[in-house]
Amino acid sequence: MSTALTSAPAPTATRQDKLRVMVVDDSVVIRGMISRWIGAEPDMEVVASLRTGLDAVNQLERINPDVAVLDIEMPELDGISALPKLLAKKRDLIIIMASTLTRRNAEISFKALSLGASDYIPKPESTREASAAETFRHDLIQKIRHLGAKIRRSAHAHAPASPPLAPAHHDKPRETAARAPLASPAPAAHPAPTRRPFSMLAPRVLLIGSSTGGPQALMSLVTEIGPVIDRFPVLITQHMPPTFTTILAEHLARSSRRPAHEAVDGEIVKAGQIYLAPGGRHMRVVRHGADAAIALDDGPPVNFCKPAVDPLFTSAIDVWQGGIMSVILTGMGSDGMRGGKDIVAAGGSVIAQDEATSVVWGMPGAAANAGICAAILPLNQIAPKLVRLFSGDRS
């Protein structure tokens, strides 16, 4: 996955407000590099830099981090073994799995997501390559920040309205002292996003875009939309690197019990199939006589992502015009919003996942706040709605 290398300035924070990050990796070079990056951010700090998963489990309660960056391959106790032990001690710990791009590590990363990891990040094979290291740095920092935002919101929601003053305990080490509630301001009240009616045109294709939290959401969704897949093509863009998309396609096939694969350039799009954009390439669709065909390209990132959702959404209009049903699931950024606008302008419809069930309400939130959605639904309500819409319901 390649994401934005430029972004909004990081929020400033007092020391008590900062996200507390624990870095766990057996490579002293990687630990040092990640620690320097995090230390340079005004809203986060490294509270521990550890060599093994066993160190992390043993020291978790003393350190009390908000976020853990957890390597997969480590001595004594590897990341996948440490993961459930860490969550058993701290249920709301945000864990980001870090691994190199191998098939084995991709499989382990997917298993980690099913065991409660919040996200994963692929480590570059060589941090000496400036562009690879910079992409890794940016992606990691953004994941920590956006996933950690839930910690801030939760702390504010559970903090007392007028906390009583308590005497300072200067004799306690900072790690063992009770952590003060994070002092983020309450989210401003926003008016409900504008909804528009569903298209009166019968949908002929289902397009889905997703990012952070997307693999779990996708597998849940495809399990319940068998009647749609059987009669219509389903095309998915998930922000994900090569190898990981190969594994995701296999998981989607098992979850849906329908054919699912990474899309191949030039293949004809058919009902009964799930097509997944391969990592590192944009997936578009083009006319091929009376049919639609896949068109992959190795062009520059769009919305700083590759693959990106917008190229799929926008290209589909030339093929299916207003007969497009699109869904934007959990993810950072705003990818899919512009393509969604184009789909709506052409007569199609957009459904967004709601904030409560999204790991990160970036992409669906951008679509919702742009006023282009016909529905904003919890994840478990999206599949039933799609089945009804593709069966003829227009409301």
- Give mean pLDDT, residues 221-235: 98
Instruction: Please state, in angstroms and rounded to a whole number, the distance separating the CA atoms of residues 354 and 357.
Output: 6
User: What stretch of H or E contains 255?
Assistant: helix 244-256
Yes or no: say if 245 and 238 are a contact pair by the CB < 8 Å rule: yes
- Give mean pLDDT, residues 64-84: 96
Which of the following CATH numbers is that of domain 205-390: 2.40.160.20, 3.40.109.10, 3.40.50.180, 3.40.50.170? 3.40.50.180
pLDDT for 187 equals: 46
pLDDT bucket at 10, cuts 50 / 70 / 90? low
A 10 A CB-CB count for 23 gives 25
Residues forming a β-bridge with 208 = 236, 327
Q: Is 70 exceeded by the pLDDT of residue 164? A: no
Instruction: Please state, in angstroms and rounded to a whole number, the distance separating the CA atoms of residues 64 and 176.
Output: 8
Range in 25-39, 142-156, 198-212, 369-383 the model is least confident about: 142-156
Instruction: Please state, in angstroms and rounded to a whole number, the distance separating the CA atoms of residues 196 and 366.
Output: 15
Yes or no: say if 282 and 299 are a contact pair by the CB < 8 Å rule: yes
Domain ranges of the chain: 19-156, 205-390
Question: Could you please report the per-residue DSSP string of 349-390?
Answer: EEEEE-TTT-SSBSHHHHHHHTT--SEEE-HHHHHHHHHHHH
Question: Could you please report the per-residue DSSP string of 214-238?
Answer: HHHHHHHHHHH-HHHHHHS-EEEEE
Say what the pTM is: 0.86
In the CATH scheme, what architecture does the domain 19-156 have?
Answer: 3-Layer(aba) Sandwich (3.40)
Structure tokens at 212: 């952070």
pLDDT bucket at 180, cuts 50 / 70 / 90? very low
Nearest to 240 by CA among 224, 228, 251, 253: 251
Could you list the active site residues?
Answer: 211, 239, 335
- Give mean pLDDT, residues 381-385: 98
Examine domains 19-156 and 205-390 and report if their fold is the same. yes
